[in-house]
Amino acid sequence: METSTPVIFEERENQIHRKGESPFNIDCNRDSLAGAISQRACVFCGSRVVLYPIADALHLVHGPIGCAVYTWDIRGALSSGPELHRLSFSTDLQEKDVIFGGEKKLYKALNELIDLHGPKAAFVYSTCIVGIIGDDLEAVCRKVSAEKKIPVIPVQSEGLKGNKREGYNAACKALFRLVGTGETDNISPYSLNILGDFNLAGEIWLIRDYFKRMGVEVVANITGDGRIADIKRAHGAKLNVVQCSGSTMDLANMMEETYGIPHIRVSYFGVEDMAQALYDVANYFGDSQMIEKTKELVKDELKVLYPELKKYKKALEGKKAAIYVGGSFKAFSLVKALRHLGMKVVMVGSQTGTKEDYAELEQITDPGTIIVDDTNPLELSQFIKEKGVDLFIGGVKERPIAYKLGVGFCDHNHERKIGLEGFEGMLNFAKEVYNTVMSPVWRFVPRNTTGDVKNV
Amino acid sequence: MLLKHTTDEIKERNALSVNPAKTCQPIGAMYAALGIHGCLPHSHGSQGCYAYHRSALTRHYKEPVIAATSAFTEGASVFGGQANLLQSIDNIFTVYNPAVIAVHTTCLSETIGDDLPQIINKARTEGKIPEGKYVIHTNTPSYVGSHVTGFSNMTRAMVDYFSEYNGSKNKIVNLIPGFVEPSDMEEMKRLAAAMGIKTIMFPDTSKVLNGPMTGKYKMFPDGGVTIEELKMTGSSIGTIALGPFASGAAAKALDVKCKVRCEILDLPIGLHATDAFIDQLRCMANVNVPDSINFERGQMLDIIADMHQYFYGKRVGLVGDPDQILALAKFLVSIDMQPVYMVTGTPAGKKFEQDLREITAEVPGEVKIKVPGDMFLFHQWIKNEPVDLLIGNTYVKYIARDEDIPFIRHGFPILDRVGHSYFPTVGYRGGMRLLEKILNALLDRKDRDATDIEFELVM
């Protein structure tokens, strides 16, 4: 950016906090400013990313074509079996449907698709336009459900209702309609559901394996590599383990209220948080044998991991990182994981963090760190330059900005290709960070060749 | 077997799209708007739309893509989006300071019935649009047409808002490039320049979405047609619109508004279509075709002659946008290949289908065409009788993998390869690149499948 005009909206000033410069009082969870180039998305997007990994369900988007196209297989949520979730189904609403209503079309589409694919359940996503024209999704779904004898669940994800958070809530409500409808026989007293993991790059398989080694049964994956039958009996589990709290915490709360299943918040990113997650689970069940096994597990994993990590830490010591992610919970783990690699976090922000999240971030970051809610490309590029960042961690829209500035990038979002969870994931993360930060390509960046870093 | 849920048995479907071969209007409008210098595209709808469009364009170009949004909430949807748009315009000019804001609607704002000209007028009266700055708009309801329609509408809006006749004709030819890559736009301009013709191209995303790495983030990159140039289009000697679906409307509007005569041609993909483009440039500007261009043409012809035996009789499946499919089908037929399956998601009409039928009249066997169709159906056709080559956007790769068929990426979007934004497929040189791609795909396959005995060094 070559102009010297201010790039911060006055109205956004309170959404940016510099640790140590003023008392902490960040403004967040408010609607994006009209006209700001926010990096946020909508309700539909939130619902879609949460539910989509359920592989044996039909995911039908009721709306014009775009909503289905832009969410077609964009998240590498792997399935060990059916892959119906990787197809894109849309009622492809046309002008006449908007005028006369889309219910008949929806009914027909559901019938055709259920006959063709025999899914275990169907999710019907509402979009902006459906909210406006007032199709009765509930009624259509009820009718088809009765006729086809499978759960057909409306997801009230009209985009206009807000940002992704509301979408997570709509997804949780949809999931909750399935929970409690299955048999709970033969579930171990040491059992849990994994909430808020989407099996990107096969991560949930790794986590499941840890639990298996501890002697804990996983009842349902919610939702990575998810199956309808498992979710139906999820209320038989003794514990909900919730990661990515923004997306599935509502479900955990509903299950606690209705079925009395307690939950713990965990993160599988980074060494400390991963180990803590396993210990928390073991301690919850309080079985001494399990606690022993868990200690063994962590010890075994660390024995392999630490010497490997050391190599990377040596190179990365003192490098600076900026983080901008969807939900802020992930940011906690990233701050810690980066610290583990000897790196300094100089900026951290999220699209949809809550006040508590940001307060916690404020606690764990160093003085001078910029904490930001719902930012935009101009702000981001300014922060990157101001802080002399070596690594940017973000999602699809942030990647090219970092690259244009000649800064290393790591996708910690939908587009990551290697698992970053678990102990193994920490090593992958270190490798990925090392690869990009230490890459010789940044030597080609004009500002680096002149040695004039400030003047950009 | 990624698409293991695709069944062989084809049933008539009319209530839905499965694996669509199109997307919605606003993204086309956003792409076109990015082809104006200093323009900030603005999505008048909820936040998700523009987030998706920006992500999709970013994935395709691997470039930062900027746009703003009215960020509708439930309140705006009930009371109308006027307040949001007014505030947006105010904020955008205060902070981002673009030359122009190009507003497109969404299904949401269309359905609640926001009157954009009225809102823009109000913004002007209230002094929210600074002197010398502009706000333009187009209507892009997502439930009508496709991304191609959106591109066409925004391109037409450029004419509606800016083109004016200044009293005398300039010796300039307007080029409307169609929904093509920045590299293609560059190539069209290069050809015209080689003939000594001054052109104004609009929209022009070259140097916007294929910019260099400089170590700087430029919110408004160097490329794009300027407002000044857009105004001048009304005084040009003529307009060449490439691709009737993406460019026809703007060309006709300009003819009506400023009496600039227009010729609407196929996209210059392949020998004949490029000939037609060059010839039209020659006639309109009254110039001769330089040897350098004839030389390129000869080179392209040379490749076709040298390798014609490998093209002969190859069955091809095409998925894409109407302008692309039409030009590609003609090109393939001209080199003795057989486009046997063609699908576009864009509702391009009966006439389009008829044109495709005529182009492929000599192709032996049954030619299957579905307008509008989707990739699920396309895949089913292939399951029933395979083809030798697939051409289409990245989504075709599922089919290519499942059915083990050579595949060339062409069209929008390409999410998994680079090159399209730098190397054209239009013009003679673009044609040569396309021929190279086709040959590589076919010959790599031949090499792969050959037994040790059949495996050949020289091909």
Q: Do A88 and B20 touch (CB under 8 A)?
A: yes
Alpha-carbon gap, residue A56 to B435, rounded angstroms: 42
Size of interface A-B (CB pairs under 8 A): 262
Chain A, residues 290-349, CB within 8 A of chain B, namely: none
Q: Do A65 and B45 touch (CB under 8 A)?
A: no
- Give the closest of B69, B217, B376 to A405, CB-based: B217
- Residues of B in Cβ contact (< 8 Å) with A6: 95
Do the Cβ atoms of A369 and A387 come closer than 8 Å? Answer: no
The predicted model gives B289-298 an average pLDDT of 98
Work out the minimum CA distance from B145 to partner chain A, whole angstroms.
9
Do the Cβ atoms of A340 and A314 come closer than 8 Å? Answer: no
A191-296, superfamily in CATH? Nitrogenase molybdenum iron protein domain (3.40.50.1980)
Query: Residue A25 has what pLDDT?
Result: 82
What six digits make up the tokens of A233?
A: 């009996």
CB of A140 less than 8 A from some CB of B: no
Chain A, residues 80-99, CB within 8 A of chain B, namely: 82-84, 86-95, 97-98
Checking if the pLDDT of B118 tops 90, the result is: yes
- Residues of A in Cβ contact (< 8 Å) with B52: 41, 45, 66-67, 70-71
Does residue B419 sit in helix, strand or coil? coil
First to last CA, chain A: 8
Q: Do B71 and A397 touch (CB under 8 A)?
A: no
Q: Which of A21-30, B18-27, B179-188 has the lowest mean pLDDT?
A: A21-30
Do the Cβ atoms of B172 and B236 come closer than 8 Å? Answer: yes
Please report which confidence band the pLDDT of residue B2 belongs to, taking 50, 70 and 90 as the band edges. low
What six digits make up the tokens of A411?
A: 């996708």
Query: Residue A32 has what pLDDT?
Result: 75
Do the Cβ atoms of B188 and B242 come closer than 8 Å? Answer: yes
- Give the closest of A60, A69, A445 to B23, CB-based: A69
More confident residue, B449 or A397: B449
Domains, in order of start, for chain B: 25-144 (3.40.50.1980), 172-292 (3.40.50.1980), 307-449 (3.40.50.1980)
Do the Cβ atoms of A53 and A224 come closer than 8 Å? Answer: yes
Query: Residue A3 has what pLDDT?
Result: 41
Q: Do B22 and A403 touch (CB under 8 A)?
A: no
- Give the closest of B11, B92, B218 to A35, CB-based: B92
CB of B65 less than 8 A from some CB of A: yes
- B122-160 pLDDT, tens digit per residue, is 999 999 999 999 999 999 999 999 999 999 999 999 999
Q: Do A113 and B16 touch (CB under 8 A)?
A: yes
What stretch of H or E contains A32?
none
- Residues of A in Cβ contact (< 8 Å) with B23: 65-66, 69-70
CB of B142 less than 8 A from some CB of A: yes
Alpha-carbon gap, residue A63 to A249, rounded angstroms: 27
Please report which confidence band the pLDDT of residue B3 belongs to, taking 50, 70 and 90 as the band edges. confident
The predicted model gives A304-323 an average pLDDT of 95
Q: Same CATH fold, A191-296 and A43-178? A: yes
Alpha-carbon gap, residue B41 to B104, rounded angstroms: 8
Checking if the pLDDT of A450 tops 60, the result is: no
- Residues of A in Cβ contact (< 8 Å) with B55: 70, 74, 396-397
Does residue B19 sit in helix, strand or coil? coil
Work out the minimum CA distance from B57 to partner chain A, whole angstroms.
9
Average confidence score pLDDT of chain B? 96
Topology given in CATH for the domain delimited by A10-29+306-449: Rossmann fold (3.40.50)
Domain A43-178: give its CATH architecture. Answer: 3-Layer(aba) Sandwich (3.40)
Query: Residue B15 has what pLDDT?
Result: 78
Alpha-carbon gap, residue A348 to A336, rounded angstroms: 12
CB of A386 less than 8 A from some CB of B: no
Q: Do A163 and B47 touch (CB under 8 A)?
A: yes
Work out the minimum CA distance from B86 to partner chain A, whole angstroms.
9
ipTM: 0.94
- A332-371 pLDDT, tens digit per residue, is 889 999 999 999 999 999 887 888 888 889 999 999 999 9
Please report which confidence band the pLDDT of residue A16 belongs to, taking 50, 70 and 90 as the band edges. confident
Q: Do A32 and B51 touch (CB under 8 A)?
A: no
- Give the closest of B51, B55, B219 to A42, CB-based: B51
Checking if the pLDDT of B92 tops 70, the result is: yes
Chain A, residues 226-285, CB within 8 A of chain B, namely: none
Chain B, residues 308-347, CB within 8 A of chain A, namely: 345
Cis peptide before B413 (omega within 30 of 0): yes
Work out the minimum CA distance from A289 to partner chain B, whole angstroms.
42
Query: Residue A28 has what pLDDT?
Result: 80
- A432-445 pLDDT, tens digit per residue, is 999 999 999 998 88
Q: Do A72 and B395 touch (CB under 8 A)?
A: yes
Query: Residue B247 has what pLDDT?
Result: 98
Starting at the earlier edge strand, list the strands of the sheet with B17-18.
A152-155, A121-126, A57-62, A89-90, B17-18
Q: Which residues pair with A89 in a beta bridge?
A: A60, B18
Q: Do A445 and B213 touch (CB under 8 A)?
A: yes
Q: Which of A206-215, A250-259, B12-21, B128-137 has the lowest mean pLDDT?
A: B12-21
The predicted model gives A52-62 an average pLDDT of 97
Work out the minimum CA distance from A254 to partner chain B, whole angstroms.
25
- Give the closest of A66, A92, A377 to B66, CB-based: A377
Q: Do B47 and A131 touch (CB under 8 A)?
A: no
Alpha-carbon gap, residue B407 to B395, rounded angstroms: 11
- A266-293 pLDDT, tens digit per residue, is 999 999 999 999 999 999 999 999 999 9
**In this structure, is the dihedral angle defined by the CA atoms of residues B75, B76, B82 and B88, taken in order, positive or negative?**
positive
Q: Do A94 and B64 touch (CB under 8 A)?
A: no
Checking if the pLDDT of A195 tops 60, the result is: yes
Alpha-carbon gap, residue B56 to B62, rounded angstroms: 10
Chain B, residues 203-222, CB within 8 A of chain A, namely: 213-219
Work out the percent of chain B whose per-residue pLDDT is above 90: 92
Query: Residue A37 has what pLDDT?
Result: 79
Among B107, B119, B415, pick the best mutation site for testing chain A contact (most A Cβ within 10 A).
Answer: B107
Q: Do A42 and B47 touch (CB under 8 A)?
A: yes
Please report which confidence band the pLDDT of residue B185 belongs to, taking 50, 70 and 90 as the band edges. very high
- Residues of A in Cβ contact (< 8 Å) with B142: 64-66, 129
Q: Do B216 and A404 touch (CB under 8 A)?
A: yes
Query: Residue B267 has what pLDDT?
Result: 98
Starting at the earlier edge strand, list the strands of the sheet with B172-176.
B198-201, B172-176, B238-242, B262-265
Checking if the pLDDT of B191 tops 60, the result is: yes
Which residues are CB-neighbours of A311 under 8 A, at least 6 positions away? none
Length of chain A equals 456
- Residues of A in Cβ contact (< 8 Å) with B319: none
Q: Do B73 and A72 touch (CB under 8 A)?
A: no
Number of other residues whose CB lies within 10 A of the CB of residue A200: 24
Work out the minimum CA distance from B52 to partner chain A, whole angstroms.
6
Q: Which of A325-329, A424-428, B27-31, B378-382 has the lowest mean pLDDT?
A: A325-329
Checking if the pLDDT of A453 tops 90, the result is: no
Q: Return the residue of A nearest to B17 by Cα.
A: A90
Q: Do A98 and B73 touch (CB under 8 A)?
A: no
Average confidence score pLDDT of chain A? 91
- Give the closest of A65, A113, A129 to B20, CB-based: A65
The predicted model gives A75-80 an average pLDDT of 89
Q: Do A131 and B77 touch (CB under 8 A)?
A: yes
- Give the closest of B64, B68, B214 to A36, CB-based: B68
CB of B289 less than 8 A from some CB of A: no
CB of A161 less than 8 A from some CB of B: yes
Chain B, residues 217-256, CB within 8 A of chain A, namely: 217-219
Q: Do B18 and A88 touch (CB under 8 A)?
A: yes
Work out the minimum CA distance from B49 to partner chain A, whole angstroms.
8
CB of B350 less than 8 A from some CB of A: no
Spans of all domains in chain A:
10-29+306-449, 43-178, 191-296
